[in-house]
Structure 1
């Protein structure tokens, strides 16, 4: 096992945080996962389910820490912002390609009826 940081889905990371708030340490979380019938907690099923698919990731995340996976909205907002705010260090702006990308993101979201805060708002 290396000292790598794992990225956990938001629901799993939230469940781990709730377990820790309720007094579970790393070994307590693992014991509760393994001895399913002995421990009841509203967030254990989320962590158990992830553990059964990715046991090493849970172990690594508990020991080395973890990042929370960005939501789809966060990923789209970052992508949009990268092109919508395209400005060179000399103060000049990027060419029309970037405008087309940001406009395409806004148009796609409009067609799908999706609103994401910070995207398409000027």
Structure 2
């Protein structure tokens, strides 16, 4: 089985929401998507922009083999932060104060960096 393609969230959502109309399969017809995008269809526009950036092969591979949503940098950071929190809880239960302190410092570094850059992420510094 072929590997699933990672797609940006907005492209995956657009693919999920565009349906076949009148027996046409707009997801497989780039000309229909381009026409719809030029008429102001934002979903089609997201797909057309992605195809122009990533190429036809990657797009059609995603349609045929399936796809998964690519994590955004914020999603990745939040996941890492939550893992650190789980580690801290484990270290506290084990009374390993040195490792707890190191993990706490790493969490502080993440919060400090986000605050300095003016970025808010629910679950970290919001």
TM-score by length of 1: 0.75
Q: How far did 1:101 drift?
A: 1.0
Q: Which has the higher helix share?
A: 2
1:79 and 2:80 are equivalent in the alignment: yes
Aligned to 1:11: 10
Aligned to 1:98: 103
Q: Give the root-mean-square deviation of aligned CA atoms.
A: 2.9
Out of 92-101 and 57-66, give the one that drifted further: 92-101
Q: Does structure 1 retain, via aligned residues, the 8 Å contact 2:26–2:33?
A: no
Aligned residues: 116
Aligned to 1:116: 121
Question: Which structure exhibits the higher relative contact order, with contacts defined as CA atoms closer than 8 Å and separated by 6 or more residues?
Answer: 1
Where in structure 1 are there 5+ consecutive unaligned residues? none
Where in structure 2 are there 5+ consecutive unaligned residues? none
1:40 and 2:36 are equivalent in the alignment: yes
